């Protein structure tokens, strides 16, 4: 391995420590405590792990949190009613509805029902539009924001002119990551399942962000020597009879050619959670003027 390992866990811990200091300062000034509401529908095991993690990090930073656990058979109207109450509650500053939702519920309708000012996921069309327009007063999706912080940790502020290729075009990672990179003056390409000779396009990237959800899809022949590789994938695979977490990047082969690379676990994931808390604090400040 020649690549520098980008330690997302350590960088996230530093970010959380900073958030904790800011929350403490608010506390000392007598201001109310920032509060995040999390809604979890059903019993999806991965969602339960992620939500537990988010609540734990809230506790560590002093952000108040409240988790609403709804039955997997809940009616959409009930979920929308809960959102209306949380939107109207001035003590709640951030709202996160854990995805995916059960099939009887229209995800788009749920996201549209969240007050954009409390939309700490940055999934509401109002926030997507603001990001597209380059409005600084926007809540940016947590994973792309985490990617940007990881990139700055290796490249400093010199993202300008770098060719950044995003693999994947989802609304929650690929598209917002591309827009954020564009705002930081990168030359941006998005590639996806219909792209012709995807490996050749990726090989031209100075920075590669991979978010497709296919275990170890990106191999060393996709990567330019010295490139920075961020792996957003979280795939559970069987390895010698045991469940194991791997990314969308074939770490062992890519680490031989990349200049820097994030591991899975311990890369983008922890940074995503740190950015959720960062967004909660931003939403709090915005709401309090």
Catalytic residues: 54, 98, 121
Stretch that binds ligand GUE, among 62-70, 213-221, 259-267, 281-289 (CB under 6 A): 259-267
C-alpha distance from residue 100 to each of 40, 84, 163 (Å) = 9, 20, 32
253 known member of a binding site: no
Q: Which of residues 138-157 bind ligand GUE (CB under 6 A)?
A: 142
CA angle 159, 161, 167 (to 5 degrees): 75
How far is residue 263's CA from residue 240's CA, in Å, rounded to a whole number?
A: 20
* Opening angle at CA 52, ends 48 and 88, nearest 5: 95
SS3 246: strand
Determine the interface stretch with ligand GUE among 74-82, 102-110, 186-194, 267-275 (rule: CB under 6 A).
Answer: 267-275
Q: Is 207 annotated as a binding residue?
A: no
Distance of CA 81 to the CA centre of its chain: 26
Smallest gap, in angstroms, from Cβ of residue 252 to ligand GUE? 17
242 known member of a binding site: no
Is 237 a binding residue for ligand GUE by CB under 6 A? The answer is no
Q: CB atoms < 10 A from the CB of 185, how many?
A: 12
**99, 112, 155, 182: residue in contact with ligand GUE (rule CB under 6 A):** 99
Only one of the segments 18-26, 82-90, 153-161, 266-274 lies at the binding site for ligand GUE (rule: CB under 6 A); that segment is 266-274
CA atoms of 255 and 249, how far apart (whole Å): 10
Q: Does residue 167 belong to the site contacting ligand GUE (CB under 6 A)?
A: no
CB 249 within 8 A of CB 215: no
- Please classify residue 112 by burial: count the beta carbons closer than 10 Å to its beta carbon, then call 0-12 exposed, 13-18 middle and 19+ buried: middle
Say if CB 169 and CB 192 are below 8 A apart. Answer: yes
Of these, 16, 270, 277, 279, which contacts ligand GUE (CB under 6 A)? 270
- Site track for ligand GUE across 200-229, x = CB under 6 A: ------------------------------
Among 65, 127, 272, 282, binds ligand GUE (CB under 6 A): 272
- For 240, other C-beta atoms within 10 Å of its C-beta total 5
Contacting ligand GUE (CB under 6 A), which of 234, 249, 255, 283? 234
Does position 251 interact with ligand GUE (CB under 6 A)? The reply is: no
Among 86, 97, 110, 140, binds ligand GUE (CB under 6 A): 97
Using DSSP, state whether 225 is helix, strand or coil.
coil
Q: Quote the distance between the C-alpha of residue 8 and its chain's center.
A: 12
* CB 261, min distance to ligand GUE, A: 14
Residue 233 DSSP symbol: -
Residues in binding contact with ligand GUE, number by CB under 6 A? 18
* Numbered residues of the known binding site: 168-170, 234
| Interface contacts to ligand GUE, rule CB under 6 A | 49-50, 53, 96-99, 121, 142, 234, 245, 264-266, 269-270, 272-273
* Numbered residues of the known binding site for NADP(+): 168-170, 234
């Amino acid at each position: 391995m020649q690549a520098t390992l980008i330690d997302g866990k350590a960088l996230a811990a530093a970010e959380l420590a900073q958030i904790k200091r800011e929350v403490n300062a608010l506390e000392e000034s007598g201001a109310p405590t920032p509060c995040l509401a999390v809604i979890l529908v059903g019993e999806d095991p991965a969602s339960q792990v992620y939500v537990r993690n988010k609540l734990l990090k809230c506790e560590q930073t002093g952000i108040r949190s409240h988790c609403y656990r709804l039955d997997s058979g809940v009616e959409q109207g009930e979920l929308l009613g809960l959102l209306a109450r949380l939107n109207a509650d001035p003590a709640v500053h951030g709202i996160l509805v854990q995805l995916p939702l059960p099939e009887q519920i229209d995800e788009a309708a749920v996201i549209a029902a969240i007050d954009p000012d409390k939309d700490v996921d940055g999934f509401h069309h109002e926030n997507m539009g603001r990001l597209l327009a380059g409005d600084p007063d926007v809540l940016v999706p947590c994973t792309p924001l985490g990617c940007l912080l990881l990139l700055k940790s290796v490249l400093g502020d010199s993202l300008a002119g770098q060719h950044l290729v995003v693999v994947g075009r989802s609304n929650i990672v690929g598209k917002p990551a591309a827009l954020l990179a564009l705002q930081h003056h990168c030359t941006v390409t998005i590639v996806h399942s219909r792209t012709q000779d995807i490996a050749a396009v990726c090989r031209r990237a100075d920075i590669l962000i991979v978010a497709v959800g296919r275990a170890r899809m990106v191999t060393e022949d996709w990567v330019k020597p010295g490139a920075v590789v961020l792996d957003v994938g979280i795939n559970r695979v069987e390895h010698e009879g045991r469940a194991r977490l791997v990314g969308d990047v074939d770490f062992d082969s890519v680490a031989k050619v990349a200049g820097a690379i994030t591991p899975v676990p311990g890369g983008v994931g922890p940074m995503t959670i740190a950015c959720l808390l960062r967004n909660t604090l931003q939403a709090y400040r915005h709401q309090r003027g």
